[in-house]
Amino acid sequence: MNASDVVRYALAAFLILTGVGLTYALVRLGMLLGQTSTSLEQTMTEVIPMLGKASVTLDQVNDELVKVNQMTDSAVDATEKLDATVRTLSSAIGTPVRAVSGVSAGISHAFQSFRSKRGQRGGVV
Structure confidence at residue 11 (pLDDT): 95
Structure confidence at residue 105 (pLDDT): 82
Percent of the chain's residues with pLDDT above 70: 94
DSSP state of 1: -
Q: How far apart are CA 85 and CA 10, in angstroms?
A: 106
Structure confidence at residue 27 (pLDDT): 97
> pTM here?
0.46
Structure confidence at residue 117 (pLDDT): 73
Three-state secondary structure of 7-26: HHHHHHHHHHHHHHHHHHHH
Q: Which amino acid is residue 66, in one-letter code? A: V
Query: What residues in the chain have per-residue pLDDT under 50?
Result: none
DSSP state of 123: S
Structure confidence at residue 18 (pLDDT): 97
Residue 62 sits at the vertex; the CA angle it makes with 44 and 81, to the nearest 5 degrees, is 170
Query: Residue 4: how many CA atoms within 13 Å on its side-chain side?
Result: 0
117 SS3 class: helix
